[in-house]
Amino acid sequence: MIRTYAVWLAERHIVKPINAIAHVSRHSGYDTPEAREKWIRMLNALDIRTGDEIETLYEDYKRAAHNTVRYIEEFQHQSEQLTRLQNGLIMVLADMVESRDQCTGDHVFKTAAYTEIILCQLLKEGIYSNQLTEEYITEVVNSAPLHDVGKITVSDVILNKPGKLTDEEFRIMQSHTVEGGKIIDKAMSIVDEDTGYLTEAKNLALYHHEKWNGKGYPAGLKGEEIPLSARVMAVADVFDALISRRSYKEPFSIEKALSIIREDAGSHFDPLVVQAFLDAEDEVRRIAKLNLEP
């Protein structure tokens, strides 16, 4: 009789509450704000009031849970801030390299935007699906602003020359690809970790002037030897160059630029990438028409 009562007491005051806490914790996640909120809400709802060590344990556990959630949220906030800061600094740096005197961020922003549009379109159409993941797209889009970082080594005189470049000047201009690759190599050795982000930044810097037919520079790579990210950037970069004013050329209309890109599919550009670009024409036009000049 006494034994039965003791077992009943233990069951009611010890086993059940502990099982309840364990159950809540086992069935909760922490990875989204909603999951964390639910976890805390369910823990609070247990409302264990046994008036003994079990209640103390429950209160301690609740406090630890609260602290864990607060810690996760602070950590995530800081990590998001760092990512934003990193992306912001890269945009500003790349823009300074790019424009020297006229820093509008226009080219840097728009080439990244076209790159994202093309990659998302390819993903949607299931093209190159063995290479395309959300993570890959994020890496490529975030590193896109660095594709011309090697221009830091090219003098303003060449960069802003009003007329046609001499052969020697164009050779120096072309070196911005290899120089960009070296700069990113340096960054990689400092970071000392193989981030996909820097790998793609290097592919973009080195290979965005390669051509599908093998007649580009610096390596003369052909077809799928050229990294996918660089094949996408080639289209984004040239389209933006075509519709922009340069020291050496007037802007083309969007129609004219689109038709040049279409004509160069299979020679300059990967035809599947051009197809995706043209399939997303509405979004491309929306970015092209944004006026970011001050």
Instruction: Give the interface with Fe ion as residue ranges (CB under 5 A).
Output: 148
Interface characters, 186-225, with ligand SIN (x: CB under 6 A): -----------------------x----------------
Q: Which of 106, 200, 210, 237 binds ligand SIN (CB under 6 A)?
A: 237
Instruction: Assess 116 for contact with ligand SIN (CB under 6 A).
Output: no
Nearest C-alpha neighbor of 91 from the set 79, 105, 81: 105
Shortest distance in whole angstroms from residue 159 CB to Fe ion: 11
Report if residue 139 touches ligand SIN, rule: CB under 6 A: no
How far apart, in Å, are the Cα atoms of 69 and each of 3, 20, 36, 41, 190? 42, 20, 7, 12, 33
Tokens of 90: 């890269």
CA distance 239 to 182: 26
Q: Which does 161 bind (CB under 5 to 8 A by kind): ligand C2E, Fe ion, ligand SIN, none?
A: ligand C2E
Does 110 bind ligand SIN (CB under 6 A)? Our answer is: no
Question: Using CB distances below 5 to 8 A depending on partner kind, what does residue 116 bind out of ligand C2E, Fe ion, ligand SIN, none?
Answer: none
Instruction: Using the minimum distance from each CB to ligand SIN, give the nearer residue, 176 or 202.
Output: 176
By the rule CB under 6 A, 95 interacts with ligand SIN: no
Q: Where are the strands (E) in the chain, listed by range?
A: none
Buried-state track 38-69, b at ≥16 Cβ within 10 A, e below 16? ebbebbeeeebeeeeebeebbeebbeebeeeb
Give residues 4-43 in contact with ligand SIN (rule: CB under 6 A). Answer: none
Q: How far is the CB of 160 from ligand SIN (least distance, A)?
A: 12
**Residue 45 carries which side chain, given as an amino acid letter?**
A
Of the pair 17, 105, the CB lying nearest ligand C2E is at 105
Count the residues of the shown chain that bind ligand SIN, applying the rule CB under 6 A.
7
Q: Name 117's Cβ contacts closer than 8 Å, sequence gap at least 6.
A: 277, 280, 283, 284, 287
List 139, 148, 179, 270, residue binding ligand SIN (CB under 6 A): 148
> DSSP character for 253?
P
Tokens representing 199 are 């790998």
Residues that bind ligand SIN (CB under 6 A): 107, 148, 151, 176, 209, 237, 241
